[in-house]
Chain A
């Protein structure tokens, strides 16, 4: 987290975006992220993102759910409050399988949603910088991070040559902060200038 300088290239076509992502990576620029209006198959591979381990987390949550159901219901029906239900033994596994199944699903589902929100930094009253509002509508927005080795003018030219319809330089907070989208809020006075090229 921190305030950084970014070069933002906007593309209006998916077919231009893919080769652009490839050439930008090949040229050695650091891609901060690519914001798109809809999920694009294969973009994660093109950007070189690693496979998510969300499903491994889901598996672990599921196992925890199964274990919770089995141990708690075993404790309830054999130790804490044994009931005679239709003359069945106190420890009746078949009757508990639906409960074990439900808790497995519940833990896995809720756990994965929360993990996903955490990984994407999504929560109520959490605000993040929008590089371009049309990224939610019809623009594919590629954001490059400016490092000490970056030559800004060269980068802007490079993006334009790669097919960007609009390029600008922004200084922005790259993490999240507490705030609301429906209220104007100037976070960092003096840093928030936007240079349209």
Chain B
């Protein structure tokens, strides 16, 4: 059997990704003139959108590398048929990381204290107490290290995988290869645990509500972005299959990706609810202040809408084995999950930024600007992934475990 190993980016794919990026740039420019040049509250709106989209999409593409490393460490073989697709998605960590770095550093260096109140802690007892963690120097150094670590370790993982393209791997060499990729995967996972699973969401997103804190926040953000990452991988896999590539991927692999989407939607709900319930139960004003605008205030509709499409829809639609093996259902659910978790991160960022200082009332500023910028990021991910896919063979067919993915059966 001869496999189609070389992907060429179809013209239509390139046109769509470029036009999405153009939409993003036009929205960014329009948003800049509408909001970015205005007074502080307009600027908060502008920067809020940038931080929401850049951080969300960066964490989503980085989650694909988490998937690769976790399956490598678990000695998994079933995912190898589409491993190169996950790898190609993680190439986008480089451009998105640079963009997020620019946005985050611009916030701190540009002294946007209406977004990060902790930039001016003077006279505020709580913020002064937190200044050991929430201070510009630590923020800048740690953000650079975080994103740099993802880029360097992710690139190393891709290079280790690229060694397999040189030719058949004898058994002894294969053992060494498996050990070495395990070492690099575990290094990435340690760095991932220190950043995505703990500090990065605290620093980037949670510190917008600087008085409030939740130790579960990072796990909750991770669950949100990991399930979206799986959804992105699924979409690319199904797209490539539609184009006639990835002959070795069949319903068994899609079934497992569907299981991941189902399971991590439930996992997200579990963390989301645990964070909510403890605060609801203790009923301490400093903590409940976070949920007031979200569950009861202006963001109520968005909040429950996001809950329905992130929990009820995956639960009820993806529960049956048949729907996890159906390409149409899985595609539909993947798109729904990405939208749902984009909204989830939206409601992490914006309630803290959209309070009217005079009346104290909240409003939901969601409009074309957010959607346009989001589409721009989608286009960037598509463009970068398509180019990365075309650079290397689509299969790691010399991987010692490759037979497992061919005979995979759920």
Contact = CB atoms under 8 A, between A and B. Distances in A.
A binds B: yes
Interface of A: 41-42, 55, 59, 86-88, 94-95, 97-98
Q: Is the interface of A mostly helix, strand, loop or mixed?
A: helix
A98 B274 CA distance: 9
B277 A97 contact: yes
Contact of B277 (A41, A42, A94): A94
A94 B273 CA distance: 9
A97 B409 contact: no
A94 B276 contact: yes
Contact of B281 (A41, A42, A55, A86): A86
A57 to B, nearest CB: 14
B187 to A, nearest CB: 34
B409 A59 contact: no
A94 B319 contact: no
Interface majority SS (helix, strand, loop, mixed), chain B:
helix
B321 A94 contact: no
Interface residues of B, number: 9
A55 B281 CA distance: 35
17 contacts: A41-B409, A42-B409, A55-B321, A59-B319, A86-B281, A87-B283, A88-B283, A94-B273, A94-B276, A94-B277, A94-B280, A94-B281, A95-B277, A95-B281, A97-B273, A97-B277, A98-B277
Interface in B256-314: 273, 276-277, 280-281, 283
Interface in B14-53: none
B61 to A, nearest CB: 32
Contacts of B273: 94, 97
A15 to B, nearest CB: 13
A191 B319 CA distance: 49
Contacts of B409: 41-42
A155 to B, nearest CB: 31
A117 B321 CA distance: 23
A2 B103 CA distance: 77
Contacts of B276: 94
Nearest to B278: A94
Contacts of A98: 277
Contacts of A86: 281, 283
A59 B321 CA distance: 13
A58 to B, nearest CB: 11
Nearest to A87: B283
Contacts of A55: 321
Nearest to B279: A94
Nearest to B280: A94
Interface string B297-340: 00000000000000000000001010000000000000000000
Given A94-B273, A97-B277, 16 more contacts: A41-B409, A42-B409, A55-B321, A59-B319, A86-B281, A86-B283, A87-B283, A88-B283, A94-B276, A94-B277, A94-B280, A94-B281, A95-B277, A95-B281, A97-B273, A98-B277
A174 B153 CA distance: 61
Contacts of B277: 94-95, 97-98
B174 to A, nearest CB: 24
B53 to A, nearest CB: 31
Contacts of A88: 283
A98 B273 CA distance: 10
